[in-house]
Chain A
Amino acid sequence: MNQFIQELTKGLWKELPPFRLLLGLCPVLAVTKSASNGIGMGMAVLFVLTLSNMLISLVRNIIPSKVRIACFITISATLVVAVELLMQAYAYPLYLQLGIFVPLIVVNCIILGRAEAFAAKNPVHLAIADGLGMGLGFTMSLTFLGSIREILGAGTWFGYPVMWDGFQPFTIMVEAPGAFLCLGLTLAAMNYGTRRQLMKRNREGSEASASPCGGCRACSIGKSQD
């Protein structure tokens, strides 16, 4: 049970998928034009990720390791088709908003990444916890970015106006450049926070064991880009 909670919570901060692991950036940048889009996309990924982790963990001993990637892709693609059909039936406006990014969940690195790194090696209940945690972290991050971009770019939050009268929206924030700028600044702020924390800890006299890079995983992005 302890381990279950540990796997569940690691996705919420320590290994927050888009910010810390830098996985699955395309939907992060493309659909966060508004907070509600972010939450919708996040829920879709949460659903696919949890179920694909569960299924892959269930069949992990049957799949020959040579064709495992193809099997993982087939499983996640099947789930994505299911999500597509469900969205068309019950959330059609959201489906139109997200457009091509719903089928593109298949090639979201985070799904394959978690399948390969976690679900293929761990028992079912831990794989589900991992999927839920990562999915929730992903949803949180997308909603956060979507909120910032919507508030600055359109002056609204979930469609309700929140800024003062006469506020001039920075239209650039809801366009493509705003996505890059917003994510870049968020990552920089997180790095800054981590560095400050480390410096404070070092000044308090504990040994300087921490690496100078802090929590930044930029060095590993070359290995995990797929």
Chain B
Amino acid sequence: MTALTNVVSSVLMLVGALFCLLAGVGVLRFPDAICRLHAAAKAQTLGVVLILLGTELQVSVKFAWALLLVAVFQLITVPVTGQVVGRTAYRTGEIYRPGLVMDELADRLAADARRESGEPAEPREDAQERGNG
């Protein structure tokens, strides 16, 4: 184990821990479930992957494979969790509305409701606008 590996591993671990700390602060301070999800999904994933990479450099090769598997698994599963939790938060209405810049799903839901109530003209225009923009 050379000095260079130790330095790289230390930097990776410290930066990763810093991101984990930021994720904790975000989960505590942000105003609603979706904002907290933002901190939990992005900062936390980056933090744990960096720490796992730092660990890779410290262990022997036969364990490094399993650690890499954990990192890949995190990268695959966290978006799924985020999508499911975010969808549930939207459907149950637990959203801090003033914090939203835009809400594209609301337009879609309104268009669907209009179409179901028997006015087919409105969604066509909508689609055309989206195509041009």
Do A and B interact with each other, yes or no? no
Q: Could you list which residues of chain B lie within 8 angstroms of chain A, going by C-beta atoms? A: none
